[in-house]
Structure 1
Amino acid sequence: MYRHLLVPIDGTDLSTETISNAVELARTLGARITFFHAQPNHAAAFSGDAEIVRLTSPADYDYAYQGRARELLAKAESAARALGVPCDSSTTVSDSPYRAIIAAAQDAGCDLIYMASHGRRSSIGMMLGSQTLKVLVNAGMPVLVAATTNPPATSQAIGIIRDEHRSLAAVLHAWLHLLGTEQGPHDPPRDARMRAMIHYIKAFPLALHHPKEEEYLFRKLRERTSRCNAELDELERQHERDMQLVDELAAAVERHLAGETDVAAVKDAVSRYALFIWEHMGREEGVILPAAQRYLTPADWDEINAVFSENGDPRFGGDTDAEFKRLFSRIVNLASSPDTK
């Protein structure tokens, strides 16, 4: 039976579904996963859009062609850790994705490549489909291709909710990684990074994600059935408790930065908060999302998907999602990064 999966990922919406399916498969098999991302060699081009971006906006260039890979892999690892699946990740720069995928599988000692077929509905889809075919033909090892299509509103909304969960889990994992490593002489100040993490948690999971869940997902589920009311009540209480815990966590950080406590006290506080969050997200994904799939109507899912996709509620504002992504990327890229070849 297969013991080690290589799972190539990209930045498409379909990648979220691929990661979830791969993690479920690995969990069933008792296997581990190596997530892999192949970046195009934009830096080798001395003309075109990539060079313009590099010259005019170095920060955007670094994110688009380096930081984005670490961000994608951090969230993929969070999905695996949530289900107790051992994992690691790597990224490389290559203009031949299929060769990079095969080489990564061989280097990691994988015995199965799990990847998605993106279909042929567009020129991009045809290109990605051709890479999958080349892996199938040249891998020299088993390749499992999961057919994916444009997902319905139900799958899109659930994918976004899970992706937001993974973002928070990745931030907490990065924070624990930060606290478990020595401060290097050239590292950014740790106080700025920890305050950025507190700001992220307050500004997005607390102020954005939880309200969307309660106002749309939870409300719709209450309208369709009373069977989940007790669980929904508990989750809403946990949302309130979450705010209290984050305030306590922020206070613990400030006490440490003021020299009143050592780093172990902060690490203990972050660990307790992480356990609370992982249990909370597990209840939502293990109980509420399956119930929502059972009871909600297609019209319900259309509304939920629209809100989670575009932050459609005017309370959230149009720029919130972009800020969310920028801050998340900054945190995971400052605090930790997977191996790069």
Structure 2
Amino acid sequence: MYRHLLVPLDGSELATTLVSGALELACVCGARITFFTMRDDYGASDEGALVRAMAPDTFNEVAAGHANAIIAKAIAAAESYGVQCDGLVRTGSRPYELIVQVARERSCDLIYMGSHGRRGLRALLPGSQTQKVIAHASVPVLVATVETNSVGNACDAAIAIILDEHRAIAAVCNGLRGMATQLRTGAAVDLAFLDAMLHYLRNFSDELHHPKEEQYLFARLAGRSVELDDVLAVLAREHSDGAAQLAQLEERVGQCRGDATRRAAQALAADLDDFVDAQWRHLSAEEKIVLPAARRQLNEVDWQQIGDAFRLNGELSLGGERGVAFERLFARLMNQAADAASC
């Protein structure tokens, strides 16, 4: 039985499904996971060299890319499954070599990966690279059927988007939990960074994620059963409660700026823990109750409309200006969190 999986990732919708498959396999095997992603060596390019000289701050942000964000989402997903894991980011230009090297270094006994992807995964793992991993790896390679034509129905595609957004929220909540721990121990906390995480959650959750859940997912499930209606009512109320909690947290951060006492820090830490606990319970209820019920009760047309709403909801679409801004902000937050953790 396999005990340690290496799972190479990118940030595409298909990679979200790959993470879920890897976690289900890890649960069956009782295995742990190392999530891995690669970023290009931006500094080695002509553009990167120029940007490094002309705008160092811009260079650092572009060079960091979305790799830490990809890993943070996967780790958040693993926490919801109760699977032990860690994450690793490497810079390079030959994916198969890095994958084989990391598998050897981490003593992994199985590489679990997709053959192709829609976005970055195709660049990270084109068919020739997958074949090279299989040819050069000293451990078994399981190639999952997570490729462009294998997300064969609208239900799977829509749920993948919803889960990806959940994992972004959970990853930021993990960051808040870490800050609460620092506050309780008396360690210095970057309140501006804490404010940025709260700002992301308030805007992303309240403006992008929660309205789509209520208008497109919850609305289609309403009236199916009294029990489910009660759950949906509670979840909708928790959306409003969460917004109020975030406003309170932002106010508490402002108070801490003017009151640097241990008591103020402890109060903020307690509020952060309460908020994160509530968010985890909320996400768990949606994933364990609402999404399975939706799988059973909604049809392909319903799922197509839900998927379109989450993917192409006007200016908030992932391809739209505000959606791109949310992606960039999330990546920036996860890069800052990774930098802080390495200090």
The bucket for the TM-score relative to the shorter chain is: 0.7 to 0.9
Please give the alpha-carbon distance, in whole angstroms, between the structure 1 residues aligned to 2:221 and 2:23: 27
Deviation at 1:153, TM superposition (A): 2.2
Stretches of structure 2 that go unaligned for 5 or more consecutive residues are none
Please give the alpha-carbon distance, in whole angstroms, between the structure 1 residues aligned to 2:304 and 2:226: 21
The alignment's C-alpha RMSD in Å is 3.1
Query: What pairs up with 1:193-212 in 2 under 5 angstroms?
Result: 193-212=193-212
1:322 maps to what in 2?
A: 324
Q: Which of 64, 71, 75 is 1:66 aligned to? A: 64
1:243 maps to what in 2?
A: 243
Stretches of structure 1 that go unaligned for 5 or more consecutive residues are 183-187
Please give the alpha-carbon distance, in whole angstroms, between the structure 2 residues aligned to 1:100 and 1:338: 25
Deviation at 1:243, TM superposition (A): 2.0
Query: What pairs up with 1:28-43 in 2 under 5 angstroms?
Result: 28-43=28-43
Please give the alpha-carbon distance, in whole angstroms, between the structure 2 residues aligned to 1:226 and 1:129: 49
Please give the alpha-carbon distance, in whole angstroms, between the structure 2 residues aligned to 1:124 and 1:314: 26
2:317/2:323 contact within 8 Å kept? no
1:5/1:110 contact within 8 Å kept? yes
1:307 maps to what in 2?
A: 309
1:119/1:129 contact within 8 Å kept? no
Deviation at 1:119, TM superposition (A): 7.3
Query: What pairs up with 1:163-242 in 2 under 5 angstroms?
Result: 163-181=164-182, 190-222=190-222, 228-242=228-242
SS of the counterpart of 2:82?
A: coil
> How many residues of Structure 1 are paired with residues of Structure 2 in the alignment?
333
Q: Would the alpha carbon gap of residues 314 and 6 (structure 1) be closer, same or farther in structure 2, given more than 3 Å must change?
A: closer
1:224/1:296 contact within 8 Å kept? no
2:223/2:229 contact within 8 Å kept? no
1:131 maps to what in 2?
A: 129
SS of the counterpart of 2:87?
A: strand
> Greater CA deviation, 102-111 or 63-72?
63-72
1:332 aligns with 2:337: no
What amino acid sits opposite 1:159 in the alignment? A
Deviation at 1:263, TM superposition (A): 2.7
1:149 aligns with 2:138: no
2:161 maps to what in 1?
A: 160
SS of the counterpart of 2:14?
A: helix
> Greater CA deviation, 316-325 or 67-76?
316-325
Cα deviation 1:145-172 (Å, max 9, x = unaligned):
1112332322221111111111111112
SS of the counterpart of 1:228?
A: helix
Q: Would the alpha carbon gap of residues 295 and 70 (structure 1) be closer, same or farther in structure 2, given more than 3 Å must change?
A: same
